[in-house]
């Protein structure tokens, strides 16, 4: 009925955002509010209030809704799992929101939303297989194939962040405990938090990732050495993806994606680990930046409305 409108929600650990778009990618309304941490019911009400605000702007109601969350939906129970916003885990969020909002709702991982956004009208537009990774406080990824998200029967397709970093000695893996309960996950190396840990292990300094990358750009030797090691880690992590999936393009989002050195160096380093000794896979920055999550959730709403 309201086919011209797309609405999405990006639920983060610290903020929740809604967007209202048309099908030509034009944004008509956006609002961001703090996420009520550790309060599931208040989180649902926050989403409801944002939906009502967007629909007031559109002058319609009952729009299909796509939502990106820092976790995934279990194909077995239908509940949220694997969320680092732990108060969501075990909750029937999709069903609760469908009931609360009286409409179809699709809930998926926020990295899936990044992949869908960039595949639809971003850096991956025109590519059949898009692998999109978030290199932020944590580390996740999603896969879009022919403009649709790949989720899989377990809802974990693209959960690259929780595999051990390839070609890395066990002694190094054991230095990096992960919130998932294992050691040496990609997230513990390739997130901004992982970069900070690398710097602390190598140089004994506690510095945020942004400071390390800025210092490296300014010629600081310790920071440059840490960033060089990070680029080795990222090369290994992405080469493992290419060896399994061989995507048409890799798109990076999150704070670490702003490090220009990534795009200068990975083209040179990837052939050292990709099977066959060559690599033609472009690695690029997300066009929509930190807007990709909420835009992807809106495009997800288009898929909801078409099924």
Confidence at residue 1, expressed as pLDDT on a 0 to 100 scale: 44
Confidence at residue 305, expressed as pLDDT on a 0 to 100 scale: 47
Say whether pLDDT at 301 is over 90: no
Confidence at residue 84, expressed as pLDDT on a 0 to 100 scale: 80
pTM of the model: 0.93
* Beta-ladder partners of 67: 9, 107
Confidence at residue 140, expressed as pLDDT on a 0 to 100 scale: 92
Least confident of 29-33, 74-78, 194-198: 74-78
Structural domains present in the chain:
5-109+290-305 (3.30.420.40), 123-286 (3.30.420.40)
pLDDT tens across 53-62, in order?
999 999 999 9
Say whether pLDDT at 121 is over 90: yes
pLDDT tens across 223-278, in order?
999 999 999 999 999 999 999 999 999 999 999 999 999 999 999 999 999 999 99
Confidence at residue 135, expressed as pLDDT on a 0 to 100 scale: 95
Do residues 109 and 136 lie in contact, with contact meaning Cβ atoms separated by under 8 Å? no
Secondary structure E strands in the chain: 5-11, 15-22, 27-34, 65-69, 72-73, 80-81, 105-109, 129-135, 139-145, 148-149, 249-253, 283-285
pLDDT tens across 89-104, in order?
999 999 999 999 999 9
For the sheet with 129-135, list strands across it.
148-149, 139-145, 129-135, 249-253, 283-285
Rounded (10°) CA dihedral 42, 43, 45, 47: 160
pLDDT tens across 145-194, in order?
999 999 998 889 999 999 999 999 999 999 999 988 999 999 999 999 99
Say whether pLDDT at 134 is over 50: yes
């Amino acid at each position: 009925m309201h086919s011209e409108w797309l609405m999405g929600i990006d639920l983060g650990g610290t903020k929740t955002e809604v967007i209202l778009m048309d099908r030509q990618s034009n944004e008509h309304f956006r609002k961001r509010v703090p996420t009520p941490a550790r309060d599931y019911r208040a989180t649902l009400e926050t989403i409801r209030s944002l939906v009502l605000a967007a629909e007031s702007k559109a002058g319609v109601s009952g729009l299909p809704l796509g939502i990106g969350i820092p976790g995934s939906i279990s194909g077995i129970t239908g509940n949220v799992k694997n969320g680092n916003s732990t108060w969501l885990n075990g909750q029937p969020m999709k069903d609760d929101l469908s009931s609360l909002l009286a409409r179809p709702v699709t809930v998926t991982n926020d990295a899936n939303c990044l992949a869908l956004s960039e595949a639809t009208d971003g850096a991956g537009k025109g590519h059949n297989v898009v692998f999109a990774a978030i290199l932020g406080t944590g580390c996740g990824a999603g896969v879009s194939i022919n403009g649709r998200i790949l989720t899989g029967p377990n809802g974990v397709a693209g959960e690259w962040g929780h595999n051990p970093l390839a070609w890395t000695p066990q002694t190094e893996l054991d230095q990096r405990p992960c919130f998932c309960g294992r050691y040496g996950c990609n997230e513990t190396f390739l997130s901004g938090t992982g970069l900070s840990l690398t710097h602390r292990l190598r140089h004994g300094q506690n510095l945020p990732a942004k400071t390390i990358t800025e210092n490296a750009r300014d010629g600081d030797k310790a920071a440059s050495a840490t960033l060089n090691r990070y680029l080795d880690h990222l090369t290994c992590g992405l080469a493992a993806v290419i060896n399994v999936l061989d995507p048409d393009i890799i798109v990076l989002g999150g704070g670490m994606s702003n490090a220009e050195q990534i795009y200068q160096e990975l083209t040179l380093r990837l052939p050292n680990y990709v099977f066959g000794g060559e690599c033609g896979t472009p690695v690029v920055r997300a066009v929509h930046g930190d807007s990709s999550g909420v835009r992807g959730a809106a495009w997800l709403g288009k898929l909801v409305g078409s099924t």
